[in-house]
Amino acid sequence: MALPQLGSLAGVPALDRPDLLAPPVVEVLRGWPGAARVIVVEIDPGLADTAALVEAYDLPLSVSANCVVVSGRRAGEERVAGCVVPADTRADVNNLVRRLLDVRKATFLPVERAVEETGMEYGGITPVGLPAGWRLLVDASLRNVEVAVIGSGVRRSKLLLSGADLLDLPGAETVEALGT
């Protein structure tokens, strides 16, 4: 299998370097049939944020995807979702996500809580390994991305996988126009 390379990023199969992944990411990859196609690349943790990453590693913004965690309440029940959108868009939290979660108001989960509940580092939260019971909403436009760059659960690495595999993650729901 040829390993995908993007810009100046080159990596290895993700499960060959579990030290570069958050524990929940390793757990999901070990049980997911698509895991063999997932690549991990080590990066400078100071360059984990999208703008710095694309500049430093000569990447087009169009291949990066971001995962944000959103929550809302309905009848006393909290509803949480990870939302994955192209990095050049923002998740439509106030309209589409709010309606999908069927809540009156949707807001970003506070950083401390997102980090604690995901078992991942801020700036590295990824759709791979989100807690059971959380919805995973993925922008449909990502299906056309040959190799997507997403978080790995830690700031010192990124995952490379196809957009099709991103949409095929366990529990993923494909959503048209999630990113605006």
Residue partners of 117: CB distance under 8 A and separation at least 6: 109, 131
Q: How many domains does the chain have?
A: 1
Alpha-carbon dihedral sign for residues 172, 169, 66, 62: negative
- Is residue 180 one of the residues assigned to a domain? no
CATH number of the domain encompassing residue 83: 3.90.960.10
Percent of the chain with pLDDT over 70: 97
Residue 99 in any domain: the answer is: yes
Q: What is the pLDDT of residues 101-123, one digit of tens each?
A: 999 999 999 999 999 999 999 99
Task: Residue 180: count other Cβ atoms within 10 Å of its Cβ.
Answer: 13
DSSP 85-111: EETTS-B-IIIIIHHHHT-S-EEEPPH
Distance CA(147)–CA(60), nearest Å, equals 11
Q: Is 14:38 a contact under the CB 8 Å cutoff? A: yes
In this predicted structure, what is the pLDDT of residue 3? Answer: 60
Q: Tell me if 129 is assigned to some domain.
A: yes
> In the beta sheet, which residues pair with residue 83?
68, 137
Q: What is the DSSP string of 158-171?
A: EEEE-HHHHHTSTT
Asked whether residue 133 is assigned to any structural domain, the reply reads yes
Residue 5 falls within a domain, yes or no?
no
User: Please, which pLDDT band fits residue 2 given cuts at 50, 70 and 90?
Assistant: low
Tokens (6 digits) for 92: 């439509």
In a domain, 4, yes or no: no
Is 156 domain-assigned?
A: yes
Q: Please give the Cα distance from 62 to 149 (Å, whole number).
A: 9
Q: Is residue 45 part of a domain?
A: yes
Domain limits for position 155: 11-175
